[in-house]
Amino acid sequence: MKVFKTSQSLVEYLSNETRPIGMVPTMGALHSGHLTLIERAVKENKSVLISIFVNPTQFNDKNDLVNYPSSVVEDLLQIKKISKKILVYIPKVNDVYGNIVESKSFDLAGLDQVMEGEKRSGHFQGVATVVAYFLKTFTPDHAYFGEKDFQQLLIINYINRSLNLKTKIIGCPIVREKDGLAMSSRNILLTADQRKKASKLFEALQIAKSNAKRIPYRSLKTTINSFFESQDKITLDYFMIVDPNTLKEIHLDQPVDRGRGFIAAYLGKIRLIDNLDMS
């Protein structure tokens, strides 16, 4: 395993690596969700690059950035267990941004105007800035992203096409805990009580899925709202079913025949998200 702190040293090294090169961008605090992406990248590529970088420009909330978990030593041990040949890029902020730490401005075709984009102003411009930088600088053949952040995956696919980058973006299914909770680095910030309640996000998505074809979407929204109102310690931020390509909300008067359900909820100050195919 080789660790690189600067993009310059990494680019030099990569020029002698055998292709295809697979990249898995992460913010660290690795869990089985990340490891599944890494294992897939190892299977499908001759060389694998993992980045561990908590990207400041994608945090609209300073506290969220300050409290974001970090466990680089454990992360490296977990990566080493998968393969000793993996390359890891752990830059400082100025290696990615220079002295001006701000997002570039991308046309994201409105995909950043709903759900996470609407709730977290500037978040996807920050994501697009760092991912475009990685893809342009390291030119991986394949880059792996989780459907856990489905809206992010769609936006990355969009910038990859519109900037004419040569990487193939590969979406990977959500990895869940036994009770259905989508794995997330933020889960370790939950108290034991909150952790128990956190499975309600997935439960709500399943309730939505089992009723989606039977009742109009409008009534489904009421059902999900009532479900959360009857719970303590968890507060619904939004529940929406949207077209999985355009992210446009489906018609309120009709049952769902095709769409993806998205949910965000607060447990105390911790905000979790999840999504599920409704068809």
- Residue numbers of the site for ligand AMP (CB under 6 A)? 26-27, 33-34, 37, 145-146, 148-149, 172, 174-175, 182-185
Complex with ligand AMP: residue 125 or 256, whichever CB lies closer: 125
d(Cα 108, Cα 210) in Å, to the nearest integer? 32
Residue type, 254: Q
Nearest residue to ligand AMP, by Cβ distance, number only: 146
CB of 28 to ligand AMP, least distance (A): 6
Cross-strand pairs, 143 = 23, 169
Complex with ligand AMP: residue 129 or 184, whichever CB lies closer: 184
CB of 279 to ligand AMP, least distance (A): 20
Give 170-230 as a DSSP string.
Answer: EEEPPPB-TTSPBP-GGGGGS-HHHHHHTTHHHHHHHHHHHHTTTS-HHHHHHHHHHHHHT
Helix (H, G, I), strand (E, B) or coil at 276: strand
Q: Scan for tokens 């030119």, then name that residue.
A: 139
CB of 55 to ligand AMP, least distance (A): 8
Complex with ligand AMP: residue 23 or 241, whichever CB lies closer: 23
d(Cα 226, Cα 42) in Å, to the nearest integer? 44
CB of 154 to ligand AMP, least distance (A): 12
Residues 6+ apart with CB under 8 A from 241: 208, 212, 217, 220, 249, 250, 256, 259, 260, 261, 262, 278
Complex with ligand AMP: residue 117 or 146, whichever CB lies closer: 146
Complex with ligand AMP: residue 108 or 183, whichever CB lies closer: 183
CB of 8 to ligand AMP, least distance (A): 24
Q: What are phi and psi of 185, to 5 degrees?
A: -60, -30
Is 34 a residue of the active site?
Answer: yes
Residue type, 94: N
| Catalytic one of 31, 34, 123, 142 | 34
The set of catalytic residues is 34
